Each structure stands twice: as structure tokens, then as C-alpha cells.
Amino acid sequence: MAKEIERKFLVKDDSYKYEAVSKKHIIQGYLSTEIRATIRVRIVDDYAVLTVKGKNDGVVRDEWEYPIPANDAKEMLDRLSTGALIDKVRYIVDYMGKRWEVDAFISPVPGLVVAEIELSSPDERLELPPFIGKEVTGDPAYYNSTIARMAHHR
């Protein structure tokens, strides 16, 4: 088991696109979005992973991640997904020695762009790139699982 230590921010402009060192297309859905844990299936370009995440404790939570066959992932998303599927492009931006992941949503919330950074400790000092806006760490409205669930109930 790993501990995920992560902060999340809204993105205020598209300058991240010009700083990106790579980008990936992601389709993901949730098999469970319970408070105790979420179970996610994600297809990234041509590979897939199953992820179980524990409840947030500030910026820290438990996380288990396993590679799975892409065909199995597609079947799970088709048959078992509990909400809307999330379709997004993830841009990777290196800034001041840190790797930022910037997600530009295609659906179900086109136009939403958030940036995440994984840290080695909860109190790690962080230099913010110029494109970073308001911090939304811990705000359930910006959890991918919430976005999938709320879009499904529209």
C-alpha cells in the first residue's frame, strides 16, 4: 500500500499547454464511490489500471494501484461504472523540480481544468507555476468521483 499525498488547484489560463513535456488521453469511471473508498478503472492511451483509494485525511490517503488488461477495463467501464465516464487529456508539466499533472476535461464538464501535484510529505514547501489558480485540495466538488456521480444524475 502506498500513501498518496496530493494537492489540487484550479488552472487560470492555458499556458500549461506550452510548458507540457507530454500529454495522455484518459477515460475513467468508478465502480464504487463510497466514503470509505473509491474504486476506479482508468484507461490511459493503450494501458489500463484498477485503483482503490481510501478516505482523504487532509492531503493524505491510502492508495493501491494494479495494471489490468485494457479489454477488461473497457468491459468494467461498460458494465459496472456507477456514474458518467470521465474523458480528459492529462498534460505533464515539470516546474521547479516537480511534476505537475494538469487535467483538461472533455466530458462530462468541458472546460474544467485542474492541476495536481504529488508531494513527499504533507508540509512540503511548494513553488506554484504561473498558471495555478485557487487551491481546491479537499473540496469534494473537484473529486473526479464526485464529477462522475453528479454528471450521471443530471
Out of 16, 18, 30, 66, the active site residue is 30
Let me know if 142 is a catalytic residue: no
Cβ of 134: how many Cβ atoms within 10 Å?
9
What is the b/e burial string over 82-109, where b = at least 16 CB atoms within 10 angstroms of the residue's CB? bbbbbebbbbebebeeeebbbbbbbebe
Question: Which are the catalytic amino acids?
Answer: 30
